[in-house]
Every structure is written in structure tokens, then in C-alpha cells.
Amino acid sequence: MSITDPNHLINKPMAVIGAGTLGRRIALMLATRGGEVRLYDPNETVLSEGVSFVEENIQSQVQKTNDGRVGKAVITSSMTEAVAGAWLIIEAVPESIELKRKVLHELDEISDSEAIIASNSSSFPSSQLIDKVSRPERVLSAHFYMPPRVTAVELMSCGKTSPNLIQKLIEVFPMFGLQPFHVREDSVGLIFNRVWAAIKRESLYVVAQGVSTPSEVDDIFKLVIGATQGPFRNMDEVGLDVVLAIEEHYAELRPGLPEEVRTLLKEYISKGWLGVKTGRGFYNDYQ
């Protein structure tokens, strides 16, 4: 039975490893065809919150999915239990290259040999995670944004992924209400995160050089692009420490990126102004 066969999608389980911010959202989308999604997370609180998140949102989500049906997310107590018989396994564990490599190695060993294994990593292409994987032809990057609000998912080969597999997922993901995009070359930051990194970087540079202010950059950005939110408001929401870590990663790979951008972020961070989570960032209206 092909993975694009609707019966396959309902009758064979899927697994999501890591039930945090992204894992539970991925599980929600995968549950919209009536199938079973196994969630695993070593943190039991996060795990049960993840299952509750799916239960609370599945009805409304199914209504948006063509031919949608209410599936379920279930708690599992080990990765082995989660992946047994699964046709699709998505890892959404924290962004540590060592942890991701270890998890992919383990998944490769314990899953069915035909199972598809995808990494949701934002900054490590799956090509960097497969050193201990014996069957890399079934491994790829599947980078989700913020489903169910943002339904884009970027699919990128690990360098050894079967081309047929990416094509199949491009056919199958829309059935789950997702919009797949094929990343055609190995790319740190995949597609959109690279474009967005450039916008953030130049916005910060403009402010670091005294050309404009954060709120004025946001205002002109919204006016010209027709966006509802500007880059500085967005950075405050993400957290300036996270924004700095992302920019430092790009700077390591691409010497010559302007230092002033990171210096500006560090100034805010040193004052404890990390954005929404500390009540102040580029904006001071989060109390």
C-alpha cells in the first residue's frame, strides 16, 4: 500500500518525538486524517499537555482539512513504544546537534525499516545529523513553522534521501492541511528562515547605525509590505537571546556579516531586556 493511499494514513500510526511547542502542533496536524499519533517526551507534564493540546484543537482543525476526520494523540512511555509500526516519525527534540544525532541514530535502529524519519530542526540540516544512521535514504528534514496558524512545511533531503520519498510527502502533506515546499539544495535555515534572517539583520543594522528606530522601522515595514507586524515586534516575541543565537550561527558560517547587529542585541540582553518574556525588549509595553 502506498503512503498516499488514504487507508494507509488512517490504519498505520505516526510518531512525534518531543511534545513541546512544535511537537504537539505537528501531532495535531497529523491527527486530522483520523489516524493515531503517538507522542513521546521524557517530561511527563509536557507529554500530557501535548496530548491535551491535540484533544482541545482537533475538532476545529479537522473542519479545515479536506475530508478531515478526528484522529487521536496518545501518550507513550518510550521511543520504542512510540515508533512501533509507525510509517512516519518526526523528531522535535531540543535544538542540540548532539541530541539530534543521538535521537536519529536510535530511531533508525528501533523503527520499521520502511518508516520515514524526519527532523524538524531549524538550524541543523538533516545532512549533519545522519553520521550514525544506517538507512539515510528514508531520512529528511521536515521543517514545520507554527501549525495550525502557519501551515508551511519545508522538505529537504539529507543528501541521501530517496527522491521518490520527498515527492510522496509533497503529495501526502496537503491531506493533513499542510503546505509543503521543496528545499532543492542543502541549506542552513532552509528557505524562509534565511529570508527572514536577512530582514532581521538589516533592520538591526539600520538601528545600530542610528539610521532609524525600532518602532519606525516596524511602521515603515508594515506600510510598505502590508504586514501586520514589523521585525522588531517579532524579535521581541521570539526572544532576543534566541535571535542572537540564530544570528551567531549564521555569522559562524558566513564570515563578514556585520558585527554591529550582534553588538546591538547583546546591549539589550545585558540589560535583561529579552523581549516579551522579560516584559521589555525593543518595546517597553509588555507589562
User: What residue type is assigned to position 139 of the chain?
Assistant: V
Query: Considering only CA atoms, which of 9, 143, 21 is closest in space to residue 86?
Result: 9
Instruction: In angstroms, give the least distance from the CB of 17 to ligand NAD.
Output: 5
Give a three-class secondary structure readout of 19-88: CCHHHHHHHHHHCCECCEEEEECCCHHHHHHHHHHHHHHHHHHHHHCCCCECCEEEECCCHHHHHCCCCE
Position 111 contacts ligand NAD (CB under 6 A): no
Can residue 93 be called a binding residue for ligand NAD (CB under 6 A)?
yes
Query: What's the min distance (Å) between Cβ of 208 and ligand NAD?
Result: 25
Number of residues that bind ligand NAD (CB under 6 A): 22
Q: Which three cell numbers stand for residue 269?
A: 540582553
Establish if 76 lies at the interface with ligand NAD (CB under 6 A): no
Q: Which is nearer to ligand NAD, 22 or 62 (CB)?
A: 22
Q: Is 269 left (phi over 0), alpha (psi -120 to 50) or beta?
A: alpha
Contact segment (CB under 6 A) with ligand NAD among 18-26, 133-141, 225-233, 254-262 equals 18-26
188 binds ligand NAD (CB under 6 A): no
Among 6, 42, 85, 279, binds ligand NAD (CB under 6 A): 42
Distance from C-alpha of 178 to C-alpha of 154, rounded to nearest angstrom: 10
The least distance separating ligand NAD from the CB of residue 100, rounded to whole angstroms, comes to 7
Contact 58, 80 (CB under 8 A): no
User: Between residue 117 and residue 156, which ones bind ligand NAD under the rule CB under 6 A?
Assistant: 120-122, 143-144
Binding site for ligand NAD (CB under 6 A): 17-23, 40-43, 46, 92-95, 103, 120-122, 143-144
